[in-house]
Structure 1
Amino acid sequence: MPITDKDRDVLARTLWGEARGEGLAGMVAVAWSIRNRVEDGKEKSWWGEGYTGVCQKPYQFSCWNQNDPNYPFISGAKPIPKAEFATCHLAAQQVIDGVKPDPTGGATHYYATTMPKPPKWVVGAKQTLKLGHHVFFKDVP
């Protein structure tokens, strides 16, 4: 599946909504968890198809939920600060192009440690990385 300009933009917007406070390394890790979903090897993936489909799959990345405080920014209703957005685009491009290796060890899930408690899906999942305020997992039951 070819990667479009829209895919690049939606991935960068997702990184802003999910990981803008985590620095470039944190954004790259989140982008890799998304890429791992995109490249799950299934013909018709539950995650969605392509970067846009995966990022905007309902209830997978909370920043795309219409009641999320980030949504007005990532939807384009409010402007994202240019310098922050440039860093998000850089992280997205580096992951799409494979310039940065996957620091997550194949993770397809993560959660923010700022949540009151870990999500239920953590039980039985294999933690692969803790970076900043995110904990990454694969093999989620």
Structure 2
Amino acid sequence: MPQTSLLTDPLQVAARTAWGEARGEGAVGMQAVLCAARNRLARPAWWGRDICSVFLHPWQFSCWNMGDPNRALLLAVTGADPQFQIALALAAKLVGGSLIDITSGADSYYDTRLAHTPAWAASRLYRCTIGHHAFYRVGPSGEG
């Protein structure tokens, strides 16, 4: 699939994001990443209004950042990778509207292995931790 198609096909963008962000977290971790986007889609804002714009918005999902080593990997991964097969199946649920939210409404997350907690991660907005990712609801109506 040409790289331009990878960046415009919602299924591919979602699957590659889940794989790029959380392939080491297994199916549950990848589902949680997709849930954050699902919750952003439910409340469109500055981060985007459709699957591709939400995932590809600059500096939102680090695997898409130009300097991130995961970017080259996610652009090259194929269906032969077992974790990518799982990501594709989960992304199909997101695209089809049947992905179950396992993050209690979170729209953002960070890797808990970071040296410092991000400034935006206020404790009142915390929802859950899944694998190495702490999930928060910080967008519009973040208290909800």
Alpha-carbon offset, residue 100 of structure 1: 4.1
Q: Equivalences for 1:32-43 in 2 at 5 Å? A: 32-40=35-43, 42=44
What is the aligned partner in structure 2 of residue 122 from structure 1? 121
What is the CA RMSD across the aligned residues, in angstroms?
A: 1.9
What is the aligned partner in structure 2 of residue 47 from structure 1? 47
> Can you give the 5+ residue segments of structure 1 that lack an aligned partner in the other structure?
none
CA distance in 1 between counterparts of 2:99 and 2:14 reads 15
Q: Equivalences for 1:1-141 in 2 at 5 Å? A: 6-40=9-43, 42=44, 45-74=45-74, 76=75, 78-80=76-78, 82-123=81-122, 125-139=124-138
> Can you give the 5+ residue segments of structure 2 that lack an aligned partner in the other structure?
1-7
Helix, strand or coil at the partner of 2:120: helix
CA distance in 2 between counterparts of 1:85 and 1:124 reads 33
Question: TM-score under structure 2 normalisation?
Answer: 0.82
Length, aligned pairs only: 132
Question: TM-score under structure 1 normalisation?
Answer: 0.84
Contact 1:38 1:47 in 2 (8 A): no
The runs of at least 4 aligned residues of structure 1 exceeding 6 Å deviation read none
Contact 1:35 1:96 in 2 (8 A): no
Task: Name the % identity.
Answer: 37
Contact 2:16 2:84 in 1 (8 A): yes
Helix, strand or coil at the partner of 1:129: strand
